[in-house]
Structure 1
Amino acid sequence: MLPEIGRIVTPDGVVNGTIIVEDDRFEGVIERDGKPSGWVLPGFVDAHCHGGGGHSLATGDADAARAAAAFHASRGTTTLCASLVSSTHEFLLEATRALRPVVEDGTLAGVHFEGPYLSKSKCGAHDTEVLRDPDTAELAELIDAGGGAVKMVTIAPELPGAIEAIEFLDAKGIVASIGHTDAGYEQTMAGIDAGAQSATHLFNAMRRFDHREPGPIPALLDDERIFSEIIADPAHLHPGTMRFAFDVSLPGWTLLVSDAMEAAGLSDGTYRLGRHEIAVKGGLATVAGTDTIAGSTITLLDAVRNAVNLAGQSVEAASQMASATPAELLKLNDVGAIESGKFADAVVLDDDLNLVSVMRRGVWLKV
């Protein structure tokens, strides 16, 4: 499963050698002389995912969540958050309660609410009928229902009540992420000052940059308090835009996300995301009958390859953006790096970044 001598990406740099595993944890790395072949990366950490392999994370169904997590793990994503799309408060409460045990047993790393506190003009594939202003009482109920499962909430900072909601989430240790927003520069900065820590799929579903009305993008890119999600998929971002974001934000503040929906890994056809029917053609997912992009069909492995092959990043930088940086944002101390004491999660690739094998918690998975 492991190359005899692989290029192992560690927090201290690339080491030519092999990993040592004891039970479900890394015990260390042994350096070896000789010519290395292939790569050994820490397992990927996806903070923003709606499903994959024909299974949805957005429905709040525990069995579907386990199946989606298994699919992504087989592609190298050994740590996964379930992203729920905008819906009624009652549905989100029910979904959170259903997913709580899947988080508690370690199958999922947490729950991310991508909405319903989003701008109607930048709603993307979210149903405008359920969008509403942020409500701390609603958030308190959702957090209580999750019992520690809730990790992140996407909020448009220009909405009434948004600043109070961001402050509330920050006080609870939950990531408030700025996204699906028509905010101006100053409104975005107010959200950051209130405690927002990340940007939900930077560039996508945001007011565009203008040199006189810069909007949210430069505020989010420039502030070291913000981690920026990037969907490294040419359907979402031109490779030049990816390269620009990586070079400005840097790997320590940039996390690759899949934003995958249930069609990831499957052929073209008709699927669902939240309340919408989704048409997938040529790997591009759109709300049926429109040109509105509805998530992606990539995995984080695809995102890593795209970061390297399309946007000119090193394998080490892409690895950091797919593992260590999202783990830091979500405060997941046991994953994200090949380091003694952390969970033995690893992705083995050949020299051309083709998948060879995946280890999760010290066990080799079928890929």
Structure 2
Amino acid sequence: MNAFWVRGGKLVFPCRVRTGDVLIADGSILALGEQAYATGIQNLLVPDLYVAPGFIDLQVNGGAGHNFEDATPREIRKIVDFYVSHGTTGLLPTTVTAPIAEIRETISRVKEANRPAVLGMHIEGPFISNERKGAQNPEHILDPSVEKFNELVEGHEGFIKIVTLAPERPGANQLITRVREIGAVPSLGHSDATYEQALAAIERGIGLFTHMFNAMREFHHRAPGAVGAALDSDVYVELICDGIHVHPAAVRLVARAKGVDRICLVTDAFSATGLPDGEYSLGGLPVFVRGGVARLPDGTLAGSTLTMDRAVKNFMEFTGCSLPEAVRCASLNPARLLGIDDRKGSLEVGKDADLVIFDEDLTVHYTILGGEVVYERRKAM
């Protein structure tokens, strides 16, 4: 049995923090709390550090100099390992709008990279709205089509976890049904849906709103839009908490309106994350990063340079919520959305030993993935 203790840390549970120990064996959490220490078992001593479930990022386009859309398997491993060093133990590589053949090639390369932190794929487009395309390439936007979708996912059905689409477009009803049939979550995003259309889409099966507020119809007191529908329902919403994509006050209002159990923190990060300001690209479009903010030449926001550890810290600062609440938005909530909370998302006996260990400033000191220490602050392992 490959076993070791994580000792003396502050354990972050969904509703509280308690000092204790974690026994890890064969990739799982075997015991929690104050335990009698067995002889012959190694100890990882983490006094004054927090021990939390690893973060799960539902939307990430790239990082460390590469985008998933055109990265080689080796470069994909580099991207994933970069986010693991920031406490992410589960992520969905995200494709932007592109020709179907190119999206399929990306999926195949991600599979070939074979990183344990990869939980599947998020397909963001091409079935989106021209009016709310954001930083998506308009040349490759398609009308929602079950036939085209089947072509895109053939052979990869179980690997697709989220599909972002515009539910107001013709053919979207059938596509929502088909996405559900393959076990994925249909998500409203890059959509010009009205309040009424968005509510109807939720009734049909939309389970998530992709990067809430961004690339969707805004709230107005006489026309609440898609934002109003999200606030007026129990659908999950993604939030990019970099202080740029969504004003801190708006983040705070969402937390008050929906409660923290329906919020999933995401990065929507791309190749520039972890690198200096400069010129990059996303989906074949030029992106300029200044002061860590990524924009197209016309000023449109184009992804972020955020990491999940910073997202958790920002969410706490923006909302005044507790550490367990913020961690829940980055772990248990996305795990529940994906239907994997029976094995991931919280510190519970029997669940996967995917942990992040950080200090008061949310600086990551260790990442444990599948019961193995895969990142240590003093050195990457």
Is the TM-score greater than 0.5? yes
After TM superposition, the score normalised by the length of structure 1 is 0.94
Find the aligned partners of 2:5 and 2:295 in 1 and give their Cα distance.
39
8 A Cα contact 1:59 1:274, kept in partner:
no
* Of 170, 173, 183, the match for 2:180: 170
Cα drift, residue 52 of structure 1? 1.2
- How far did residue 147 of structure 1 move? 4.3
C-alpha contact (below 8 Å) 1:60/1:96 kept by paired residues = no
Note the alpha carbon deviations across 1:165-192, whole angstroms, 9 max, x for none: 1111122221000011111111111211
| Residues 1:31 and 1:244: Cα distance change in structure 2 (over 3 Å) | farther
Question: Which of 63, 74, 78 is equivalent to 1:63?
Answer: 74
Rounded to whole Å, the distance in 1 between the matches of 2:160 and 2:148 is 13
Task: Name which of 151, 154, 165 aligns with 2:164.
Answer: 154
Mean CA deviation greater in 56-65 or 137-146? 56-65
Equivalent residue for 2:106? Answer: 95
Find the aligned partners of 1:322 and 1:250 in 2 and give their Cα distance.
14
Structure 2 residue matching 1:96: 3-state secondary structure: helix
Deviation for aligned residue 1:39: 1.4
Q: Which amino acid aligns with 1:120?
A: N
In 1, Cα distance between equivalents of 2:81 and 2:13? 25
Query: Structure 2: which amino acid aligns with 1:310?
Result: F
Question: What residue identity is the alignment partner of 1:21?
Answer: I
SS across alignment from 1:132: coil
Q: Equivalent residue for 1:266?
A: 275
Residues 29-178 of structure 1 aligned to structure 2 (within 5 Å): 29-31=32-34, 37-59=48-70, 61-102=72-113, 106-178=116-188
Give the Å deviation of 1:12: 5.9
Do residues 346 (structure 1) and 355 (structure 2) align? Answer: yes
Amino acid at match of 1:24: G
Give 1:87 shift: 0.6
Match of 1:276 in 2: 285
Higher mean alpha-carbon deviation, 89-98 vs 338-347, is at 89-98
The residue that corresponds to 2:206 in the other structure is 196
Counterpart residue type for residue 279 of structure 2? T
For 2:185 and 2:270, the matched residues in 1 are separated by 22
The Cα offsets for residues 116-144 of structure 1, whole Å up to 9 and x where unpaired, read as: 11111111100111111111012122222
Equivalent residues of 1:175, 1:198 under 8 A apart: yes
2: CA distance, partners of 1:247 / 1:65: 37
Whichever residue aligns with residue 314 of structure 1, its letter is S
Count of equivalent residues: 363
2:300 aligned residue: 292
Q: In structure 2, the residue corresponding to 1:133 is in which secondary structure?
A: coil
- Residue by residue over 1:32-88, the C-alpha shift from the partner in whole angstroms, topping out at 9 and shown as x without a partner, is 8xxx72311100000100011112123263222221111000110010111000011
TM-score for the superposition, normalised by structure 2 = 0.90
Structure 2 alignment gaps of length 5 or more? 36-46
Once the two structures are overlaid, the 10-residue window that deviates more, 326-335 or 69-78, is: 326-335
Residue 359 (structure 2) pairs with residue 356 (structure 1):
no
Taking the aligned partners of 2:270 and 2:51, their CA distance within structure 1 comes to 27
Deviation string 1:271-296 (CA, Å, 9 cap, x unpaired) is: 12111121111000111x22111000
Q: Equivalent residue for 1:185?
A: 195
Tell me, yes or no, if the aligned pair for 2:268 and 2:304 is still in contact at 8 Å: yes
1:171-230 Cα distance to aligned partner (Å, 9 max, x none): 222100001111111111121111110000001111111111111112112212x11000
Flag the 1:60–1:146 CA change in 2: closer, same or farther, 3 A: farther
In structure 1, distance between residues paired with 2:71 and 2:119: 15
Unaligned runs of 5+ in 1: none
- Misfit runs of 4+, over 6 Å: none
- Find out whether 1:249 has 2:258 as its counterpart: yes
Determine what percentage of the aligned residue pairs are the same residue.
Answer: 36
The separation in 1 between residues aligned to 2:193 and 2:318, in whole angstroms, is: 30
